[in-house]
Amino acid sequence: MRLSTKLLFLCALLAGRAYAQAPLPPLADLQRQYPGQQAAYVDMRADLTVEIRHDSVQVLAHHLHDMVHLGDHSAGYAYDQVHSSHFSKLLKLEARTLVPSTPGLSDKYKPLRVTAFKDEFDMQDGVFFDDTRATSFSFPAVVPGVRTITDYTVRHPDGRFLLPFYFGSYVPVRHAEVTITAPKGVQLNYKLFNAEKLPIAFTKKEQGSSVVYRWVADNMPAASRDADAPKPAYYLPHLVFYIEQATVAGKQQQLLGGVPQLYTMYSDFVRRIQPHDSPGLKHRVDSLVAGAATPEEKARRIYYWVQDNVRYIAFEQGLRGFVPHAAGLVYERRYGDCKDMANLTTEMLKLAGLKSYLTWVGTRDLPYKYGELATPGVDNHMISTCELTPGQYVFLDATSNHTPFGMPSAFIQGKEGLLALDGQQSKVVPIPVVAPARNGATDRSVVTVDGTGLHGVGELDFTGYAKVNQSYALGGLDKVQEPKYVKALLERGSNKFFVDKYAVQNLAARDQPLRLTYDYRLQDYVQKLDDELYVNLNLEKPLAHDRLDSLTRHLPRANEFAHTDHTRTELVVPAGYEVSYLPPAAQAGDAAGPLNFRISYERQGDRIIQNRELTVNYLLLPTQQFTQWNGVVDKLGAAYREVVILKKKK
């Protein structure tokens, strides 16, 4: 399934057709209008024309962006790219720098055309092949006061695959405009996102045999660039438009409009799978499920076999980005992309007598639901879904090697799956968010005082998505890299921390925690004053300083998965000492909030036991919860400062 977010955002910022470059206010006035900004878009435009060509509905799109450079560091915007692919064929590209004839003024310009363009495939990390191409170039003579123009035309040979138009960017936008001209026989629909409070003007009028749709927005502020923010589609204002019906050769042709229409398109893609018989596939399934006592065990064995034996290789080329290979072919080749692995898993489950469905899903890079936007832009991934009992769905993404059976891959939590029930019927089902109790780290250790240092022996378990991440990290390390990674993973107290020995267990056992047993030394950690020892058992202090400033941060914060971390630290009271002070229990936050913790201390014989539980419970933290988050962080930081005091016996 085509990963579309790259095109959706990057191409959408290059909006408009070639227009006359109107004069601007003097540079000094623009710098006062946009204080602190290195650049601003004068124009971001797109002018689309829907065309009926032979038996197809196509779209010709003219794009333009016109940027004025304002700051001394605006040369960072001298580089630009235009993307194209099977679904958006680049027909024409021009780029130029407009240099004011009079420095500081913006009434007349001298054009400097870009002549050097570099055209190459633009592949994302982890993608073996992608037919998306990037034509990149650099504008000459970029200094404050100049304007840079990108003007290009693309043809969309299939009117179902259109890109959204973004009204905003990471620099201010003086004017943004999109027009769509369509024949009267074309039924067009659209959705605006993140634009509820914005003055985006819309008009629709007939011109002869056509209808012209027009959206205009002026004076859009620059978007924030906050760390760990969600993808731009979550917060940048944008317009998604799609063609529902068109009159082609005198007949009404249904393109999009709702889930049934989208599924009709997807099921047509599935019907294009070229048959490939593989007798070995049925034999493999029979051998895998032999002796399995339950349907769940059958499904588990098949899923793990695909994870272990089929290599994920992403391949995107035209409609091949939507049409899976036959299960038998994928089985024989032992490699495939997400839709190939989904098709193989689905067919193997069916051969085992289990209900299973090819399933389309949008990752969390995309904010849309099928009920609000049923277009190819709503999803970018494919998995298999097994229905063990009526209404009980298990989402199986074999591209995620270490994800255990029963858990969806982390990047589709909370989204929706479109299940292919048969050739005509589909069903949208919610994909659950995995509870924090199923993900996280559990650390159990016994520490003894050694002079002013500590010696610790313990074990660290990772479960759920925390295990998935650590399994990926550890599985790719050699014997030189692994000890360094483990030391960084276990490090606590200070940089005077040394791991004497460790062992990794259950790396390949998906249904067991990933376990690290360890033996460490921590030097110069215990504070000694006269006849007292001061020991802070909070050897690690996660989130101690993780306050979120709502005055400087304006976007929500994204989190890969919710998790609960447990720490049990047993301090052996040294001989000749007694406990003088034991910190009180502390807790803050509630189970429904984004953050909560509990820390307690107790004396058991010659040991002091600290138990700590810390839960991060969100996938997307809205700005409205920053105050609540900060309140818990403040109390957590105070609890971390508490120390155990041991006094020498008299």
pTM beyond 0.85, yes or no: yes
Q: What is the pLDDT of residue 16?
A: 35
Q: Which two tokens stand for residue 514?
A: 């990933």
pLDDT tens column, 256-301 = 999 999 999 999 999 988 889 898 999 999 999 999 999 999 999 9
Surface-to-core class of residue 17, CB atoms within 10 Å of its CB (0-12 exposed, 13-18 middle, 19+ buried): middle
Which amino acid is residue 571, in one-letter code? Answer: L
Residue 369: CB atoms within 10 Å:
14
pLDDT tens column, 478-537 = 999 999 999 999 999 999 999 999 999 999 999 999 999 999 999 999 999 999 999 999
Q: Which residue is it, tokens 């004839």?
A: 101
The mean per-residue pLDDT over the stretch 64-87 comes to: 93
Percent of the chain with pLDDT over 70: 94
Question: Residue 10 above 80 pLDDT?
Answer: no
The mean per-residue pLDDT over the stretch 359-381 comes to: 95
Question: Residue 320 above 70 pLDDT?
Answer: no
Question: Residue 7 above 60 pLDDT?
Answer: no
Element (H, E) at 474: helix 464-475
| pLDDT band at residue 126 using 50, 70 and 90 as cut-offs | very low
Looking at the DSSP bridge assignments, the partners of residue 252 are 247
pLDDT tens column, 559-589 = 999 999 999 999 999 999 999 999 999 999 9
Q: What is the pLDDT of residue 123?
A: 52
Weakest mean pLDDT among 4-8, 207-211, 306-310:
4-8
CA–CA gap between residue 64 and residue 173 (Å, rounded): 13
- Within 8 A by CB and 6+ apart from 303, the residues are 345, 396, 398, 405
Question: Residue 558 above 80 pLDDT?
Answer: yes
- Within 8 A by CB and 6+ apart from 61, the residues are 46, 47, 48, 49, 88, 153, 154, 155, 156
CA–CA gap between residue 448 and residue 649 (Å, rounded): 18
Residue 620: CB atoms within 10 Å:
16
| pLDDT band at residue 321 using 50, 70 and 90 as cut-offs | low
- SS3 of 94-138: EEEEEEECCCCCCCCEEEEECCCCEEEECCCCCEEEECCEEEEEE
Q: Which two tokens stand for residue 364?
A: 């969390």
Average pLDDT of the chain to the nearest whole number: 92
Weakest mean pLDDT among 249-253, 488-492, 629-633:
249-253
Percent of the chain with pLDDT over 90: 85
Question: Residue 310 above 70 pLDDT?
Answer: yes
More confidently predicted of 408 and 3: 408
CA–CA gap between residue 595 and residue 615 (Å, rounded): 6
Question: Residue 619 above 90 pLDDT?
Answer: yes
Sign of the Cα pseudo-torsion (275, 278, 284, 286, in order): positive
| pLDDT band at residue 624 using 50, 70 and 90 as cut-offs | very high
Q: Are 479 and 536 in contact (CB under 8 A)?
A: no
Q: What is the pLDDT of residue 132?
A: 81
CA–CA gap between residue 446 and residue 458 (Å, rounded): 6
pLDDT tens column, 221-232 = 999 999 999 999
Q: Which two tokens stand for residue 109?
A: 């310009």
Q: Are 378 and 366 in contact (CB under 8 A)?
A: yes
CA–CA gap between residue 400 and residue 392 (Å, rounded): 21
Question: Residue 90 above 90 pLDDT?
Answer: yes
Q: What is the pLDDT of residue 303?
A: 98
Max CA separation in the chain (angstroms): 103
| pLDDT band at residue 107 using 50, 70 and 90 as cut-offs | confident
Q: Are 617 and 534 in contact (CB under 8 A)?
A: no
| pLDDT band at residue 1 using 50, 70 and 90 as cut-offs | very low
The C-alpha angle with vertex 234 and arms to 590 and 265, in degrees rounded to 5, equals: 120
Q: What is the pLDDT of residue 101?
A: 85
